[in-house]
Amino acid sequence: MGTLVLGEDVKPKAAYIRKNSLDYSQGRMIRDRLVKAGVPVTEIAPRGPIPFPSRKWQEMKGFLLVAVRQRGPFQSCRPSADYQLPLVSGCPGLCEYCYLHTRFGQRSYTTVYANVEEILSWTGDYNAKETTVFEGSATSDPVPFNEWTSSLEQAITFFARQDGKRFRFVTKFHEVDPLLYLDNKQHTEIRFSVNTPVVIRQCERGTPNLAKRLEAARRIREAGYPSGFLIAPILANPTWKEDYPKLVKAIAKTIDSQGDNITFELISHRYTTRAKEMILSLNPESTLPMVDEERQFKYGQFGYGKYVYPPTIREELKEVLTEAIQRALPKAKVLYFV
């Protein structure tokens, strides 16, 4: 089995299709696209184990499962949105800090769904407020495998017709061309997860570099989408006070704007005990700063504890990043810092 290569387009090493997925036209379309691209495809039972040829975490990143999503309640997704929208589960990236490590562990393959039309229709159950926002990247990066599913095109077109619903997702990947010509009615916000070149190089293997992400962000903005940037995780390394303002300046230079209709979400590095154990088991040589004694233990919104930077460092991170954004993009809006 080969491994994913930094910056290259993602192509599954092998795909497994639950037979009930083929009851849906989208499932058959996904199968046909994979076969045409030369991806080995195996049809498997609607339930039961998946015959992966390898159980190694990094190699399983290259496997794709096509399944039918069972109906269930959409999970809360604060602070980025009201609810998660489960279009994809998993991601082919090899980011060391990813919180999906604790969700999936060694089961690092990506699952896409054949019944996206049904999933979108379930949003009709959630009309408790004037405008309800759905997050499409809570358990995934939805862009890398979109060339096989066209799920994002479906979702963007669907939400363009909705008066009281909005869609947003974030990505590290740059393959956004199929989205550029959709009439999105500005009901979909596309954000790009970015970090300093050093952090990307050291911690975000298997993902495009900063220049590719910013160029994709420029094209998305020119296509008329509301857009934004997720700077995460913000790492207080020795050169952070210089590196992050440079990152903000690079963003401003690329999009060539005062920041109209652009949002920022700022997330400082944090980890749980379970995440630390999983990260080190998958990446024994990780250089992520995870010394418990240098952190503050704090309970999160879901009731479990995590190690965050001490209050003085968090406040300094917030101040430096916010001021850099205000100077470079005075009309941009910082949605939150955590």
Q: What is the pLDDT of residues 295-329, one digit of tens each?
A: 999 886 666 799 999 999 999 999 999 999 999 99
Q: What is the pLDDT of residues 213-232, one digit of tens each?
A: 999 999 999 999 999 999 99
Longest distance between any two alpha carbons in the chain, whole Å: 56
CA 140 to chain centre: 5
H helices present in the chain, as ranges:
25-36, 57-60, 100-104, 116-121, 146-149, 151-160, 197-203, 210-222, 240-255, 273-282, 311-328
What is the DSSP pairing of strand 165-171 with strand 110-113?
unpaired
To the nearest whole percent, how much of the chain has pLDDT over 90?
81
Q: Would the pLDDT of 1 be above 50?
A: no
Sign of CA dihedral 76, 80, 86, 89: negative
- pLDDT tier at 7 (50, 70, 90 boundaries)? very low
Rounded to 5°, the CA angle 7-12-18 comes to 150
Q: Which residues does 165 contact at the CB level (< 8 Å), separation at least 6? A: 123, 131, 132, 133, 134, 159, 187
CA 137 to chain centre: 5
Residue 243 to residue 96: CA distance in whole angstroms: 20
Tokens of 61: 């990143």
Tokens of 235: 């790492």
So what's the pLDDT on residue 54? 87
- pLDDT tier at 3 (50, 70, 90 boundaries)? very low
Instruction: Write down the pTM of the prediction.
Output: 0.93
Strand partners, 41: 15
So what's the pLDDT on residue 9? 58
Check residue 91 and give left, alpha or beta (phi > 0: left; psi -120 to 50: alpha): beta
* Domain 76-104+116-337 belongs in CATH node 3.80.30.30: yes
Q: What are phi and psi of 124, to 5 degrees?
A: -65, -15
- pLDDT tier at 5 (50, 70, 90 boundaries)? very low
Tokens of 173: 């990947």
Residue 64 to residue 22: CA distance in whole angstroms: 15
Overall average pLDDT of the 243-258 stretch: 91
Q: What is the pLDDT of residues 195-218, one digit of tens each?
A: 999 999 999 999 999 999 999 999
Residue 329 identity? L
